[in-house]
A and B are shown apart, each in its own frame.
Chain A
């Protein structure tokens, strides 16, 4: 058992108990360090992983219970908040189970579902049980982003160009600055001549990487259901060049440019921009894993720029702060519709992107043999 009750001073409010499903690198290098900064309000009490050795080892780092089954964690009365950090395909069922277990709040790592149907099921259960859910799109909880949101005025209505540009070193570089990792997924050697490999890489890039910024893109994209993929290209070893148009051409349409390159560089860049004729927002996000503070937001109107941040915590810590507020009932949860729309947007882009990549591959293949 954890010793949380003994550690809490008499008269001070009990920290809320946290249980985490999945103890891989994201839990080890992101969530546990974030929670270590919030010990006055949140306490890790249960770690579950299908690998018993990993579960025990990671739990021992924070003095928590450990198990290898979801049911054991959900049945632990010390757990108030459940964080779902398992592989994508388990997210939907685990979110629903956590809601039905009567927990006070649920954090689901992105994406919280892999289809619109799954998202609708989650929404229905959340509504039925009243358990608030948030999705781990950490940039939407970044204080720099929140400061920008409070100051960008009518920019979302007037934007014509949106850019998300991500350049990342291998995750291990930052994981190793954040903690001492005990497990890592094995890497492979992809066959780039296989279109299925390219399609999977593009889908993975969108649902695993671009998805961090797609809720931000959607804030500036009112007609997000009307999407056209202008190009979808894979970047080796992992990345993408994707160009999209949303809305009707010439009638307030938006051009959306998504770029990502994950290589062996040491230099991360994570920039989001929304641009209109007379104003522009630029977000410079800090790399994931390390506690490097918030993004810096720069809003420019004409030749005058105003900068917001950096603030001392990042979006991951922002997520946990929000979860604590939701569990305590001191803040209203995000609307289920918003979460579903974010997911629908991401899935639509992923589906259309993969289709375009497949069609271009087929055309080039046909051309090569004609």
Chain B
């Protein structure tokens, strides 16, 4: 029988991470903490200063931490604290945490050596912070491509950005951010090869809309099995798996690389 974990969330994390909904959808694993007791799991918002907040939660005895939409920040101290105390820290990232990306990683890796071009567009509402959009966008992209070479901002402004990069085989990469209320928020990812493509459409985590991953080759097009689970719920399920198995997730290590990439862009 697996352990049942109590959860507490900051109001900001609750709002950005729909924590109550995600926890309610995993009732055998999680539940609210009783008044006056310390929760075993803390959910934090990823606004600036989140690493310090996470360290405080570890010091307060948390067994696991969920950070919703973290902004780039030095994670070294947090990583040390988490490893020293055996605390699982998972990141609930807007698009990178979508469960459909697991299949997408395989689909992309299979053809990456033959890539001719990667064109990806992230859309968010008009007035959103383009810097934050770029972080969320890049996190989703590098999850399926691995690290990108020669990242360079070509333009950034109030309506979006264009960033160029290269895949490992030298193929051009273009990341574009668009701020508009007339395109659905999400990430569109198209990797073209010599004879086909992999396309990925990642929706918002607000609902259990599935990512759509399509692999196109000479024999036709395959829609990978759709996963009707929101990125939020996936994150919480993943945390539970780590807690039960006693393993530490690699989220912070990956996020440190992302932070470094973003820092070099600025």
Contact = CB atoms under 8 A, between A and B. Distances in A.
A61 to B, nearest CB: 32
A365 interface: no
Contacts of B99: none
Contacts of A160: 159-160
Contacts of B50: none
A169 to B, nearest CB: 9
Q: What are the 4 A-B residue pairs with the smallest beta carbon separation, nearest first?
A: A280-B182, A277-B126, A264-B195, A160-B159
A263 B180 contact: no
Contact of B164 (A231, A234, A235): A231
A223 B182 CA distance: 24
Given A161-B178, A261-B192, A255 B119 contact: no
Interface stretch (A243-251, A311-319, A324-332): A243-251
A277 B193 contact: no
Contacts of A90: none
Interface string B134-174: 00000000000000000000110111101010000001101
Interface residues of A, number: 38
Nearest to B162: A243
Interface string B177-215: 011111100000000111111000000000000000000
A276 B182 contact: yes
Nearest to A266: B218
A314 to B, nearest CB: 24
Nearest to B184: A303
Contact of A278 (B157, B164, B181): B181
Contacts of A257: 162, 174, 176
Dominant secondary structure of chain B at its interface with chain A:
strand
Contact of B154 (A230, A275, A277): A230
B177 to A, nearest CB: 9
Contacts of B193: 263
B143 to A, nearest CB: 22
Q: Binding site of A, secondary structure by majority: helix, strand, loop or mixed? A: strand
30 contacts: A161-B159, A161-B160, A161-B176, A161-B178, A163-B121, A165-B119, A167-B192, A231-B154, A231-B164, A231-B174, A236-B171, A236-B194, A237-B116, A241-B174, A250-B158, A255-B160, A255-B176, A261-B116, A261-B117, A263-B193, A263-B195, A267-B197, A267-B221, A275-B178, A275-B180, A275-B183, A278-B181, A280-B180, A280-B183, A301-B182
Contacts of A231: 154, 162, 164, 174
A253 B182 CA distance: 19
A187 to B, nearest CB: 15
Given A266-B218, A276-B182, 6 more contacts: A231-B164, A233-B164, A241-B119, A255-B157, A275-B178, A302-B181
A14 interface: no
A102 to B, nearest CB: 48
Nearest to B217: A265
A110 interface: no
A254 to B, nearest CB: 9
B117 A241 contact: yes
B216 interface: yes
A69 interface: no
A239 interface: yes
Nearest to B196: A265
Contacts of B179: 277
Contacts of B178: 161, 275
A213 to B, nearest CB: 15
Contact of A235 (B117, B155, B216): B117
A236 B182 contact: no
